[in-house]
Chains A and B, each alone.
Chain A
Amino acid sequence: MDEDLPTEFDLVVVGTGFVESIVAAAASRIGKTVLHIDPNDFYGGTWASFNLDALQSFISSIAESPATDESKQFNSIKNASQIWHVTTPTATPADDAIPEGQEATEKIWTKENVLKEFRRFNVDLSPKLLFSCGKLVKLLISSNICRYAEFRAVDHVCTIINGQTRSVPCSRTDVFNTKDLSIVEKRLLMKLLTSCMGYDEHPEEFKDYEDKTFLEYLKSVKLTDNIIHCVLYSISMSNEQTSLKDGIDNTKKFLNSLGRYGNTPFLFPMYGCGEIPQCFCRLCAVFGGIYCLKRSVSNVSIADAKVDSIKCGNQDIKASNIVVGHGNILPDFSIPAGGTGVGKKCGGISRAIYITSSPLGAEELNSSGGGVNFLKLTDESGTGAFVLQLSHYSGTCPKGLYLIHISCSAKSNNPEADIKPYLDKLLTTDHPPAILYSIYFTIDACLRCTSGASITNDSLSNVFVCCGPSFELDYDESIDNAEGIFKKIYPEDEFLPRAPDPEEIVIGDEDPVSVADDVITLDSVKEQIMELEAGLLHQEDCMEENSRNEEMAMEVGEE
């Protein structure tokens, strides 16, 4: 396993985060030789998911190293802290207070028995949701990388009204079944959504509100406060200042993603979002990319404003192009100028992760052991927070426990303070979650976004820097970032054409020929996307231990 690497590559990628992994996969896919390394011993960088054991050590390692430590491998996460809110039963000498057997039957969660299940956790540093017809879903399908991943439809899109956590009716059926709305309200809501969808065909309906906010428009069509609340905050994920155009675009995006999978427009990757970069890495490897974790670039040699070779371990490796991820930039790298297609800065996110022993909201939001629920919270100052509750059905935590992720724009170097107003909203609802453990940290902007383009002195024309996670729900900006970098390096080539399925490859004695490459055209990709609606390929071999199919459960009994 300690063999030497080849000494020449078309592309060297440093860091296995989302953006870097897409660029690596795309280059490998068109036949370029790729070396993909990561200084960490895990995949994903700022986009990784950890089991609970690894998460705790990761957070401690960041909390303990001084913020100014340049040599730190991981410099994109800072201000990290963690605390257990349950004490250990061994702390009290009175052993008989909590007998051994009792724990199992009454499910009293102590630090010990939470930690015992550490392998069942897959905790995301950067949790995201996918719009069912968003960019990532389309890319996964068009590139055929979707075969590496499985998803779960988000069960409920929630909102908090008057201290109550409620499900926002998403599908047509939901609208008609909900008891929260009167018949008149239901008709008004359907009418509103229909006219939003028809915005492009009938712009005249909105003429008087073109320069106004979405809220002003909603108020003008005589909606009740409840409906305005649902549409403005949950469906369009807007706030009081959002313009009519943006509000309608957001609403359309939400509606367009409905009815593809499940009851809401959103998908969550099984076993956490950290799976997604690895799907791209696997594709890169299958097409010949070489993977090497725990390796970093110790030096670069520069010739003619280009990096000529890099020092990796004790080897000098020539590279035509270099892509460097968020948090992996060498201190003496000068960062090339120029846009990457990302409109706003990456990073700048305050994060909180809670392990809780009860879910947010009432039983109907968490049927049969908990839902994968999404909540958008707003505040007066603007961008608000994304709240994601994950139950064991997401493959990211053990049964009986929940992960609650909160992400908001960083306002200070104190993520706990940034998150507090949102946490308070959750804790003052009718069914607040019971928190066992909490983690706070800040995801920094990448060096390029922090410094702008001015950092360049003599820009290196063959070095490309990837952004870290942006404060967005889906991955749209990050995909633009990756595609932009790919197009700069290989302007003539197709970005992630469909990879053939194993069955489509005919293996001959000497010359394996991929039939699929000849047959597959863009048209069939389009067809595939259209077929998306027919989805739901049932995974018979899936090994998830539980069934949510109640009929099935009734027939064979639980577990």
Chain B
Amino acid sequence: MTTSTEKREHLYKILVIGELGAGKTSFIKRYVHQFFSANYRATIGVDFALKVLHWDPNTIVRLQLWDIAGQERFGNMTRVYYKEAVGAFIVFDVTRSGTFDAVSKWKEDLDAKVQLPGGGPIPCILLANKCDQEKQGIVTNIEKMDEYVKVNGFSGWFETSAKENVNIEESARALVNQILLNDKLITVADIMDNEKFALESTSGQQITTMKKNCSC
């Protein structure tokens, strides 16, 4: 390191899951692109949205927010989607209690398919979205919600409105906090495996292994 203060950069993969129409895409667009539109087109060809946070003077956090995108709405996400995620939001729509009924199924599915390196569940925050509209079901009772979140192993819950920009930043901050906390427990040795790599070639590192086909 040439700089005197050590700058840290983190890249975190975060899943945004929940029933169709719960507001997953709206949440991501509000958080990442700071806009809301009532009628989005289905986003074609995008895996995730990237949000860069200047967490503190020495820490940059890059969040990849992976939308399940209506296409996998039957709950059959590929392993590619879950792989190496370190946090998740489960979103439901406060105006349709049916979307809440599916929450525990999404949580079970999440916990079965992705774990922290130590084997524990990844931190997950429950979002009660569209809170600017009339609520239905359990979400009208805050104590019951607190209890539900505790019993089902969520790190917390927020009433959010992507439309009115309510609690969007706050919920994300809460999740990142939890992720950073987990991250401190993982030593450098855990995350370094020089022999594992992707096929991309964006880094300038050259392998200098000589080819055998030159004469000697």
A positions within 8 Å CB-CB of B: 1, 3, 43, 137, 140-141, 146-153, 170-173, 175, 187, 190-191, 193-194, 197, 255, 258-263, 270-271, 275, 278-279, 281-282, 285-293, 393, 499-500, 502-503, 505, 507, 509-512, 514, 528, 531-549, 552-553, 556-559
**A545/B117 in contact, CB under 8 A:** yes
Known A173-B209, A286-B47, A292-B76; judge A556-B187 contact (CB<8 A): yes
A508 to chain B, nearest CB (A): 9
Q: Decide yes or no whether B192 CB sits under 8 A from chain A.
A: yes
Q: Which residues of B contact A514 (CB under 8 A)?
A: 45
Q: Decide yes or no whether B84 CB sits under 8 A from chain A.
A: yes
**A505/B46 in contact, CB under 8 A:** yes
Q: Please name the residue on chain A nearest to B117 by beta carbon.
A: A543
Q: Which residues of B contact A507 (CB under 8 A)?
A: 29, 33, 43, 46, 49
In the complex, 10 of the A-B residue pairs with CB atoms within 8 angstroms, ordered by the A residue number, are A146-B199, A171-B212, A258-B212, A534-B201, A535-B199, A537-B200, A541-B10, A541-B191, A543-B84, A543-B191
Known A535-B201, A549-B194; judge A261-B207 contact (CB<8 A): yes
Which 6 residue pairs across A and B have the least CB separation, nearest first?
Answer: A146-B199, A531-B201, A278-B78, A197-B213, A282-B80, A285-B71
Q: Which residues of B contact A535 (CB under 8 A)?
A: 197, 199-201, 205, 207
Q: Which residues of B contact A262 (CB under 8 A)?
A: 195
Q: Please name the residue on chain A nearest to B65 by beta carbon.
A: A502
Known A1-B75, A512-B41; judge A286-B46 contact (CB<8 A): yes
**B201/A151 in contact, CB under 8 A:** no
Q: Please name the residue on chain A nearest to B215 by beta carbon.
A: A194
Other-chain contact of B71, A261, A289, A509 (Cβ < 8 Å)? A289
Q: List the count of A-B residue pairs having beta carbons below 8 Å apart.
A: 239
Task: Report how far A80 CA is from B193 CA in the complex, Å.
Answer: 36
Task: Report how far A262 CA is from B199 CA in the complex, Å.
Answer: 12
Task: Report how far A559 CA is from B193 CA in the complex, Å.
Answer: 12
**B78/A281 in contact, CB under 8 A:** yes
**A536/B205 in contact, CB under 8 A:** yes
B positions within 8 Å CB-CB of A: 10-13, 19-20, 29, 33, 35, 37, 41-50, 64, 69, 71-76, 78-81, 83-84, 102, 105, 116-117, 186-207, 209-216
**A3/B197 in contact, CB under 8 A:** no
**A534/B203 in contact, CB under 8 A:** yes
Q: Please name the residue on chain B nearest to A505 by beta carbon.
A: B46
B13 to chain A, nearest CB (A): 8
Q: Which residues of B contact A141 (CB under 8 A)?
A: 199-200
**B198/A151 in contact, CB under 8 A:** yes
**B201/A532 in contact, CB under 8 A:** yes
Q: Please name the residue on chain B nearest to A41 by beta carbon.
A: B76
Other-chain contact of B197, A261, A293, A531, A533 (Cβ < 8 Å)? A261
Known A172-B212, A255-B213, A537-B203; judge A542-B35 contact (CB<8 A): no
B77 to chain A, nearest CB (A): 8
Q: Please name the residue on chain A nearest to B201 by beta carbon.
A: A531
Q: Which residues of A contact B41 (CB under 8 A)?
A: 510-512
Known A140-B199, A547-B192; judge A259-B117 contact (CB<8 A): no
Other-chain contact of B11, A3, A172, A173, A541 (Cβ < 8 Å)? A541
**B201/A171 in contact, CB under 8 A:** no
Q: Which residues of A contact B102 (CB under 8 A)?
A: 1
Q: Which residues of A contact B203 (CB under 8 A)?
A: 534, 536-538
**B46/A502 in contact, CB under 8 A:** yes
**B194/A548 in contact, CB under 8 A:** yes
**B192/A549 in contact, CB under 8 A:** yes
Task: Report how far A489 CA is from B46 CA in the complex, Å.
Answer: 26
| A556-B187, A557-B189 given; 7 more Cβ-contact pairs under 8 Å | A146-B200, A149-B199, A151-B196, A260-B207, A507-B43, A512-B41, A552-B192
Task: Report how far A153 CA is from B194 CA in the complex, Å.
Answer: 11
Other-chain contact of B209, A171, A194, A559 (Cβ < 8 Å)? A171
Task: Report how far A262 CA is from B195 CA in the complex, Å.
Answer: 8
Task: Report how far A10 CA is from B49 CA in the complex, Å.
Answer: 28
Q: Which residues of A contact B207 (CB under 8 A)?
A: 259-261, 533-536
Q: Which residues of B contact A528 (CB under 8 A)?
A: 201
**A552/B188 in contact, CB under 8 A:** yes
Known A507-B33, A512-B44; judge A534-B212 contact (CB<8 A): no
Q: Please name the residue on chain B nearest to A275 by beta carbon.
A: B79
Q: Which residues of B contact A1 (CB under 8 A)?
A: 19, 73-75, 102, 105
Q: Which of A500, A512, A543 counts the most B-chain CB atoms under 10 A from its CB?
A: A543
Task: Report how far A52 CA is from B186 CA in the complex, Å.
Answer: 27
